[in-house]
Amino acid sequence: MYSKNLIKGTLQTIILKQLEDNGRMYGYEITQRVKELSDGKIEITEGALYPTLHKLEADGIVTTEKEFIGKRVRKYYTLTETGGTVATEKSTELNDFIATIARILQPKPTI
Amino acid sequence: MYSKNLIKGTLQTIILKQLEDNGRMYGYEITQRVKELSDGKIEITEGALYPTLHKLEADGIVTTEKEFIGKRVRKYYTLTETGGTVATEKSTELNDFIATIARILQPKPTI
DNA sequence: TTTGAATACATAAGAAACTTATGTATATTT
DNA sequence: AAATATACATAAGTTTCTTATGTATTCAAA
């Protein structure tokens, strides 16, 4: 696991990217998928996940549908049309940002 | 410029890396160097910079010396021995983190 | 068969790390 | 002379997490 504060600012984009890649997903599924993709290095906490998803819905970036699996409810999230655009934009921006950071962190060449 | 919240969590490491690469630096110099290295995409605000530097000093990661340039004072920051270790560790962690993010953001292969 | 772990949602209090605003002062450029 | 750049600093406010807590179902293991 990375020091907690590294995730700050990137969480929303990570979630949007998952929805972009996988279509319809539910919250818990997103946490598991990200954990898997990051080899256990990124574990999204529920306290961060659900408020973020609720905000995305309030902002019209995702829509939700409830589904019953036995007696247990699942809430599926899907990107809206606007959401698709936002997801792509955010994803591109984060990609650009990490490229910039990588450049800054590049070991100083030993002349 | 990137959306403000992307910098969150990375600022301290960026500062430490600059001190590692360039040795003795003053605050304003760090902002200018990072701006240059990022092609103007990362502008460290003073409200973020100075509290961070003060915290690093309080934590024994850097030491300071004041110097007068004419009538104007400059405060130079240098990594302590502990600070050097911390800088390397943080730098490595951030590098690892962005590699993980890059993997997650990787465009889904069209099968 | 009951206990613990995993699945699945949710919210609230508190902390961290920023932004924005403000202040002071000197030096340089237009 | 005025605007911009250099150079420090702090305070209030916001965002975005963490940590803690709560509810409930399902499954595996002891």
Which residues sit opposite B74 in a β-bridge? B67
Task: Give B1's pLDDT tier (boundaries 50, 70, 90).
Answer: confident
Tokens standing for residue A101: 């950071």
Distance, CA of B55 to CA of B5 (rounded, Å): 20
Task: For residue B14, list chain A residues with Cβ-Cβ distance below 8 A.
Answer: 101, 104
- What is the CA B5 to C1' D11 distance in angstroms? 20
Residue A50 sits in which domain range?
4-105
pLDDT value at residue A50: 98
- What is the CA B47 to C1' C21 distance in angstroms? 10
What parts of chain A have a pLDDT lower than 70? 107-111
CB atoms near residue B107 (< 10 Å): 10
Inter-chain touch B14–A91, beta carbons under 8 Å: no
Task: Give B108's pLDDT tier (boundaries 50, 70, 90).
Answer: low
Tokens standing for residue B109: 């292969």
Q: Is residue A78 part of a domain?
A: yes
Please determine, for residue B110, whether its predicted confidence score (pLDDT) is greater than 70.
no
**Strand B25-26 to B62-69 pairing:** unpaired
Could you read off the pLDDT of A48-80 as tens digits, one per residue? Answer: 999 999 999 999 999 999 999 999 999 999 999
Q: Is residue A66 part of a domain?
A: yes
Any chain A CB within 8 A of the CB of B102?
Answer: yes
pLDDT value at residue A28: 98
Number of domains within chain B: 1
Q: Where are the beta strands (DSSP E) in B1-111?
A: 25-26, 62-69, 72-79
Task: For residue A95, list chain B residues with Cβ-Cβ distance below 8 A.
Answer: 102, 105
Provide the shortest C-alpha distance from residue A70 to chain B (in Å).
Answer: 32
Kindly report the CATH number assigned to the domain that includes residue B65. 1.10.10.10
Inter-chain touch B38–A91, beta carbons under 8 Å: no
Count how many residues are written for chain B.
111
φ/ψ of residue A94, rounded to 5:
-65, -40
Q: Is residue A111 part of a domain?
A: no
B61 contacts: CB under 8 Å, gap ≥ 6:
B16, B79, B80, B82, B83, B86, B87
- What is the CA B45 to C1' D1 distance in angstroms? 29
Could you read off the pLDDT of B9-65 as tens digits, one per residue? Answer: 999 999 999 999 999 999 999 999 999 999 999 999 999 999 999 999 999 999 999
